[in-house]
Structure 1
Amino acid sequence: MKAIFVHLSGSKRGKTEFFTNSKISVGTDPSCNLRFNQATDKNTSPFHAEIHLKECDYILKDLDSSKGTLVNNILIKEVVLNDGDLIEYGENGPRLRFRIKTEEGDVCKPFREMLADSMDLAREPYRGRKLTTAAAFFKNLLVEAFTQSSLRFKLASFFILFFIAGGIGTLFYTIYFTLTETTKRVEILEFESTVAEKIIKNFSGGVCLIQCSFSLV
């Protein structure tokens, strides 16, 4: 089994870590497996918590940390983690989405989980600001898609993006060609209009001369 931690906030915001250990130590101490930055993640203790794999369950235990450990916004001492749980190491400390993978080989995250994690990441404040924007969501989704997905998904995404880019390129070329042709047509019409005005002006002078001649007669 693999334990996956998607960092939604804190010093590792945007990163994803994987562990196959039966014991995962959590804290700011350099010896911890899941290590946080002591200067940035001030609400996380040096030896904050431990996660043990027992049979088929990941069990999270708080090690009497100064700010506590929250799972799904509830303060806990010891709890069995479920796929999708939201963990917070210290109140207002780094927040992580917990995932479990049971298959062997490379981790290939389902697309629905990529969407959920990208949305969570986009909603979390960054440097004191809320960035719930489409740009932040799609940026996170692209990172997830090309780092956590299967080879088949990556190839499919590449071809989809290729065809989209080709379609956009064709559209811009069509617009450019149409505008160029329209500009040429306008220039021709303006030239024809100028020539017509000159002819009319010259012809009008001749007509006036003939009219004056008949008047004298």
Structure 2
Amino acid sequence: MTERDANADPAADEPPIVAALHHLTGRSRGQVSWLSREAHGVHVSDSGAIRVTADGRSLPGMTPCARFHQAGRSYVLDAVGEAVLWVNRVPLRERHLHHGDMIEFGEQGPLSRFELIDAQHPIRRTLPEILSDMMAYLRVSRRPLHRRLPRALGGLALSLLKETTILFRVSVVLALAVIIVLGIRQGREIDRIEADMRSGATRLDAISTAIARDRETALRPGDLDAVRQELGQAVQRQSARIETLEFRWKAGAEAIAGARGSIAFLHGSFGLRDGATGRMLRHAVDATGRPLSSPLGRPLLTLEGDGPVAEREFTGTGFLVGGGRLLATNRHVALPWERDAATVASAGMGLEPVMLVFRGYFPDRPEPLELSLRAASDSVDLAVLDIGGPVDGLADLPLAEAPPRIGAEIIAMGYPTGLRAMLAQSGDAFVAALQAEAQSLDLEGVAARLAEAGHIRPLASRGIVGQISPEAVVFDAETTHGGSGGPLLDLSGHVVAIQSAIVPEFGGSNLGVPAVELRRLLDTLESAGVH
């Protein structure tokens, strides 16, 4: 051994002792005071602030209360003067400190945690720091991406396992456990719901949901304000559009005028009847006769009791054919339950649809006509209704002999939006009178009032034919729900198609059934001897 080695300080080869005080309370909360080999003095102010300085140094306005000095691989804490220290809630004058000791510096000083920084107690990086280091590696490393990425993810996993606190790791494990438990519970809940959907209870719920949806679309007193404020403007624009159409196209104006009186507004309702007992599906009611609802606001339905029949209401358009004795419309208007998912689901419970009310209202005629189904096509969306005999003063709409050409002008007529558009046309005074009355605002009652006041009038919109096929005429004239079954006229007033569907995603693609299909259906009735 050389003389230099013999005289060397054995501690010189050891890493320096580094310790820190993490201040958890008081004015210095969140701050860290670092300790090294030298002795340190601790000063506390009356406001609770703490300062750690070189031993022997005084600070104005602050009182010395403790002293740190190195002892082996840690520090000894001594009280100064009359100060009292608490370490781990024990009052004392002197203490050989260990990693994690909690120190209170007198009555005014903060609570601080003593931490050693060495191989046994490394500095813990925070999760944001670990993630930041991983991203820095991905940005800076010159390795190919396919090598960088696995190395970065592996380093992230290793850092999370080694450098995070036990509490963090436990929290992650608990979070994963909670997610797994919730996933299992969710899976069981989905299985239960699917089982319920196969049961009759869910089918009834589907019907009640549909009725609740009907309530949302039905007219309420507050809706009349919206009709007066919103649809009034829309009808004014529509009226201006019609006036422009009449001004620019005299033939179109004559077609509208000639067809208007033969186009009927259709309104009806249907219910569900138990095929075995003949009982109607009704609203469940309490002792006072008031309908009951579920916690979700859906009506409760039952085959027992004497509550009101659960009705589904619908509207549409029809026009005179067959010598003024029949109305042409869509099959889905004449048989509205065929496209109703809730009604289709109820078939498995032995429930069958029953038409309760089916009426047609013609312009300028106060009394409705009772309607019944005469025939429905099995191949296209068409049906023919019986109106009980010819109507004086009304004539058929003639059917075109040939399909229209692409680009030809057409006029769509009917009752789009049902009663709402007619209410908007009726004027502010009529709507105000309805608001002032205490009568029910169901579809049937409002339709009757509109007919009595002479406000049943179809709307017309102009467009062009965009495409023709044996199955459909595609057109862009404005229409919507409620216009189903209305005629699509050429400028000479002949029916070239019957409106049947709209494509919400693309307003330029409304669909109609070619008039030739209606002609075939009427010929079938005539050959069968139906008059």
More helix by share: 1
Between 1 and 2, higher relative CO (CA 8 Å, sep ≥ 6) is seen in: 1
Mark the structure with the bigger radius of gyration: 2
TM-score by length of 1: 0.48
TM-score by length of 2: 0.22
